Chains A and B, each alone.
Chain A
Amino acid sequence: AQSVTQPDIHITVSEGASLELRCNYSYGATPYLFWYVQSPGQGLQLLLKYFSGDTLVQGIKGFEAEFKRSQSSFNLRKPSVHWSDAAEYFCAVVDTGTASKLTFGTGTRLQVTL
Protein backbone atom coordinates (compact mmCIF):
# COMPACT_ATOMS: atom_id res chain seq x y z
CA ALA A 1 0.00 0.00 0.00
CA GLN A 2 1.11 3.51 -0.67
CA SER A 3 2.09 5.87 2.15
CA VAL A 4 3.04 9.50 2.53
CA THR A 5 5.42 11.00 5.08
CA GLN A 6 5.59 14.64 6.02
CA PRO A 7 8.49 14.78 8.47
CA ASP A 8 7.86 18.31 9.72
CA ILE A 9 4.84 18.68 12.00
CA HIS A 10 5.25 22.42 12.48
CA ILE A 11 7.32 25.05 10.64
CA THR A 12 7.70 28.74 11.39
CA VAL A 13 9.02 31.21 8.81
CA SER A 14 9.21 34.96 8.62
CA GLU A 15 7.08 36.81 6.12
CA GLY A 16 9.07 37.28 2.92
CA ALA A 17 11.29 34.27 3.56
CA SER A 18 11.37 31.23 1.32
CA LEU A 19 9.54 28.05 2.22
CA GLU A 20 10.04 24.36 1.55
CA LEU A 21 7.71 21.70 2.94
CA ARG A 22 8.91 18.13 2.64
CA CYS A 23 6.96 15.14 1.40
CA ASN A 24 8.15 11.59 0.79
CA TYR A 25 6.00 8.84 -0.63
CA SER A 26 6.13 5.11 -0.91
CA TYR A 27 4.54 3.73 -4.03
CA GLY A 28 5.58 1.14 -6.60
CA ALA A 29 4.50 2.80 -9.82
CA THR A 30 4.48 6.43 -10.89
CA PRO A 31 2.08 8.07 -8.51
CA TYR A 32 -0.36 10.88 -8.83
CA LEU A 33 0.81 13.42 -6.23
CA PHE A 34 -0.99 16.38 -4.74
CA TRP A 35 -0.56 19.22 -2.27
CA TYR A 36 -3.57 20.60 -0.42
CA VAL A 37 -3.92 23.53 1.97
CA GLN A 38 -6.39 23.80 4.84
CA SER A 39 -7.30 26.89 6.84
CA PRO A 40 -8.63 26.28 10.37
CA GLY A 41 -12.12 24.78 10.39
CA GLN A 42 -12.28 24.64 6.62
CA GLY A 43 -12.10 22.05 3.89
CA LEU A 44 -9.03 21.33 1.78
CA GLN A 45 -8.08 23.33 -1.29
CA LEU A 46 -5.95 21.84 -4.05
CA LEU A 47 -2.68 23.75 -4.55
CA LEU A 48 -1.12 21.65 -7.31
CA LYS A 49 -0.86 18.17 -8.75
CA TYR A 50 1.58 15.96 -10.60
CA PHE A 51 0.82 12.89 -12.67
CA SER A 52 3.25 12.95 -15.59
CA GLY A 53 5.51 15.14 -17.69
CA ASP A 54 7.51 18.08 -16.36
CA THR A 55 8.73 17.30 -12.87
CA LEU A 56 8.40 20.92 -11.73
CA VAL A 57 4.75 21.86 -11.38
CA GLN A 58 3.25 25.24 -10.73
CA GLY A 59 0.22 25.75 -8.58
CA ILE A 60 -2.01 28.46 -7.24
CA LYS A 61 -0.96 31.21 -4.82
CA GLY A 62 2.63 31.16 -6.09
CA PHE A 63 3.43 27.63 -4.94
CA GLU A 64 5.45 25.07 -6.88
CA ALA A 65 6.56 21.50 -6.25
CA GLU A 66 9.22 19.26 -7.71
CA PHE A 67 8.82 15.54 -8.26
CA LYS A 68 12.07 13.64 -7.71
CA ARG A 69 11.65 9.96 -8.45
CA SER A 70 15.13 9.03 -7.22
CA GLN A 71 14.34 10.48 -3.80
CA SER A 72 10.63 9.56 -3.74
CA SER A 73 9.94 13.16 -2.88
CA PHE A 74 7.48 15.86 -3.85
CA ASN A 75 8.49 18.94 -1.88
CA LEU A 76 6.42 22.12 -1.91
CA ARG A 77 8.14 25.47 -2.28
CA LYS A 78 7.36 29.16 -2.31
CA PRO A 79 9.99 31.88 -2.88
CA SER A 80 8.42 34.48 -0.58
CA VAL A 81 5.84 33.62 2.06
CA HIS A 82 2.94 35.92 2.90
CA TRP A 83 1.20 36.06 6.29
CA SER A 84 -1.95 34.68 4.63
CA ASP A 85 -0.09 31.45 3.82
CA ALA A 86 -0.33 30.38 7.46
CA ALA A 87 -2.33 27.14 7.35
CA GLU A 88 -1.92 23.38 7.38
CA TYR A 89 -0.50 21.70 4.30
CA PHE A 90 -1.12 18.12 3.26
CA CYS A 91 0.72 16.00 0.74
CA ALA A 92 -1.27 13.16 -0.82
CA VAL A 93 -0.88 10.30 -3.26
CA VAL A 94 -3.46 8.43 -5.29
CA ASP A 95 -3.32 4.70 -5.61
CA THR A 96 -3.96 4.45 -9.33
CA GLY A 97 -4.23 0.69 -9.06
CA THR A 98 -7.14 0.45 -6.64
CA ALA A 99 -10.12 2.71 -6.75
CA SER A 100 -8.26 6.02 -6.85
CA LYS A 101 -8.14 6.35 -3.07
CA LEU A 102 -6.24 9.39 -1.86
CA THR A 103 -3.77 8.74 0.98
CA PHE A 104 -2.71 11.77 3.00
CA GLY A 105 0.34 12.62 5.03
CA THR A 106 -0.19 13.82 8.59
CA GLY A 107 0.23 17.44 7.57
CA THR A 108 2.61 20.32 8.27
CA ARG A 109 1.34 23.37 10.12
CA LEU A 110 2.90 26.58 8.81
CA GLN A 111 3.18 29.61 11.05
CA VAL A 112 4.26 32.94 9.55
CA THR A 113 5.80 35.61 11.73
CA LEU A 114 5.65 39.27 10.78
Chain B
Amino acid sequence: DGGITQSPKYLFRKEGQNVTLSCEQNLNHDAMYWYRQDPGQGLRLIYYSQIVNDFQKGDIAEGYSVSREKKESFPLTVTSAQKNPTAFYLCASSIPQGRYGYTFGSGTRLTVV
Protein backbone atom coordinates (compact mmCIF):
# COMPACT_ATOMS: atom_id res chain seq x y z
CA ASP B 1 0.00 0.00 0.00
CA GLY B 2 1.19 3.49 -0.78
CA GLY B 3 1.79 5.93 2.01
CA ILE B 4 4.17 8.06 4.02
CA THR B 5 6.48 6.63 6.65
CA GLN B 6 7.91 8.80 9.38
CA SER B 7 10.57 7.53 11.74
CA PRO B 8 11.18 7.33 14.56
CA LYS B 9 7.80 7.72 16.25
CA TYR B 10 9.42 9.09 19.42
CA LEU B 11 12.74 10.90 19.61
CA PHE B 12 14.61 12.34 22.57
CA ARG B 13 17.31 14.93 22.14
CA LYS B 14 19.74 16.55 24.51
CA GLU B 15 20.05 20.28 24.34
CA GLY B 16 22.70 21.35 21.83
CA GLN B 17 22.34 18.30 19.62
CA ASN B 18 21.12 18.13 16.04
CA VAL B 19 18.60 15.42 15.18
CA THR B 20 17.19 14.25 11.85
CA LEU B 21 13.62 13.12 11.32
CA SER B 22 12.99 10.75 8.44
CA CYS B 23 10.12 10.99 5.94
CA GLU B 24 9.72 8.55 3.05
CA GLN B 25 6.81 8.28 0.60
CA ASN B 26 5.97 5.75 -2.10
CA LEU B 27 3.03 7.67 -3.57
CA ASN B 28 5.07 9.14 -6.43
CA HIS B 29 4.14 12.62 -5.22
CA ASP B 30 6.28 15.52 -6.38
CA ALA B 31 5.58 17.82 -3.42
CA MET B 32 6.53 17.19 0.20
CA TYR B 33 6.05 19.25 3.34
CA TRP B 34 7.06 19.44 6.98
CA TYR B 35 4.71 20.82 9.62
CA ARG B 36 5.16 21.41 13.31
CA GLN B 37 2.20 20.94 15.67
CA ASP B 38 1.93 22.50 19.12
CA PRO B 39 -1.16 22.36 21.35
CA GLY B 40 -3.63 25.11 20.50
CA GLN B 41 -1.61 26.38 17.52
CA GLY B 42 -2.67 24.07 14.74
CA LEU B 43 -0.07 23.10 12.18
CA ARG B 44 2.64 25.48 11.05
CA LEU B 45 4.67 24.99 7.88
CA ILE B 46 8.42 24.57 8.33
CA TYR B 47 9.70 23.72 4.84
CA TYR B 48 8.27 22.45 1.59
CA SER B 49 9.61 21.04 -1.64
CA GLN B 50 7.84 20.86 -4.97
CA ILE B 51 10.55 19.05 -6.87
CA VAL B 52 13.76 17.18 -6.26
CA ASN B 53 16.77 19.35 -5.37
CA ASP B 54 14.56 22.34 -4.60
CA PHE B 55 12.87 23.48 -1.39
CA GLN B 56 11.50 26.66 0.17
CA LYS B 57 11.16 28.00 3.68
CA GLY B 58 7.77 27.98 5.29
CA ASP B 59 6.52 30.17 8.09
CA ILE B 60 8.82 28.89 10.85
CA ALA B 61 12.01 27.68 9.14
CA GLU B 62 14.50 29.15 11.63
CA GLY B 63 16.49 26.41 13.37
CA TYR B 64 15.55 23.74 10.83
CA SER B 65 17.12 22.41 7.62
CA VAL B 66 16.00 19.98 4.91
CA SER B 67 17.25 18.22 1.81
CA ARG B 68 15.47 16.70 -1.19
CA GLU B 69 17.95 14.51 -3.01
CA LYS B 70 15.37 11.88 -3.95
CA LYS B 71 11.72 12.18 -4.86
CA GLU B 72 10.78 9.69 -2.16
CA SER B 73 12.65 11.28 0.74
CA PHE B 74 12.48 14.61 2.57
CA PRO B 75 14.42 14.48 5.86
CA LEU B 76 14.17 17.29 8.41
CA THR B 77 17.07 18.25 10.66
CA VAL B 78 16.28 20.06 13.88
CA THR B 79 19.41 21.99 14.73
CA SER B 80 20.69 23.27 18.04
CA ALA B 81 19.64 26.75 16.90
CA GLN B 82 15.96 25.83 17.29
CA LYS B 83 15.08 27.39 20.63
CA ASN B 84 12.04 25.27 21.47
CA PRO B 85 12.13 22.04 19.47
CA THR B 86 9.82 19.93 21.63
CA ALA B 87 6.79 19.33 19.40
CA PHE B 88 4.96 16.89 17.17
CA TYR B 89 6.32 16.89 13.61
CA LEU B 90 4.23 15.85 10.63
CA CYS B 91 5.40 15.14 7.11
CA ALA B 92 3.02 15.25 4.14
CA SER B 93 3.06 14.87 0.38
CA SER B 94 0.82 15.85 -2.51
CA ILE B 95 0.51 16.11 -6.25
CA PRO B 96 1.28 19.57 -7.67
CA GLN B 97 -1.17 22.35 -6.67
CA GLY B 98 -2.48 20.31 -3.74
CA ARG B 99 -5.82 19.97 -5.47
CA TYR B 100 -6.61 16.65 -3.86
CA GLY B 101 -5.24 17.46 -0.46
CA TYR B 102 -2.22 16.14 1.33
CA THR B 103 -1.38 12.66 2.57
CA PHE B 104 0.16 12.75 6.04
CA GLY B 105 2.53 10.48 7.87
CA SER B 106 1.82 9.37 11.44
CA GLY B 107 4.23 11.89 12.94
CA THR B 108 7.34 12.04 15.12
CA ARG B 109 7.19 13.36 18.67
CA LEU B 110 10.44 15.10 19.56
CA THR B 111 11.28 15.83 23.17
CA VAL B 112 14.30 17.76 24.41
CA VAL B 113 15.67 16.35 27.66
Contacts and interface: CB of A to CB of B under 8 A. Distances in A.
Contacts of A9: 40
Given A51-B99, A90-B43, A96-B97, A101 B107 contact: no
Interface residues of A, number: 24
B94 A100 contact: yes
A9 B92 CA distance: 24
B107 A42 contact: yes
B96 interface: yes
A38 to B, nearest CB: 9
Contact of B56 (A51, A99, A102): A99
Contact of B107 (A41, A49, A51, A100): A41
A90 B90 contact: no
B104 A44 contact: yes
Question: At the interface, is chain B mostly helix, strand, loop or mixed?
Answer: strand
Contacts of A102: 33, 45, 92, 94, 98, 101-102
Contacts of A105: 42
A49 B40 contact: no
| Shortest 8 CB-CB contacts between residues of A and residues of B | A100-B98, A43-B104, A106-B42, A94-B98, A104-B43, A44-B104, A43-B106, A104-B42
A34 interface: yes
A58 to B, nearest CB: 15
Nearest to B31: A100
A42 to B, nearest CB: 6
Interface string B67-97: 0000000000000000000001010101011
B101 A49 contact: yes
A44 B4 CA distance: 12
Contacts of B31: 100
Contacts of B42: 90, 104-107
Contacts of B109: 41
Nearest to A98: B56
Contacts of A100: 31, 50, 94, 96-99
Contacts of B96: 100
A53 to B, nearest CB: 13
B63 interface: no
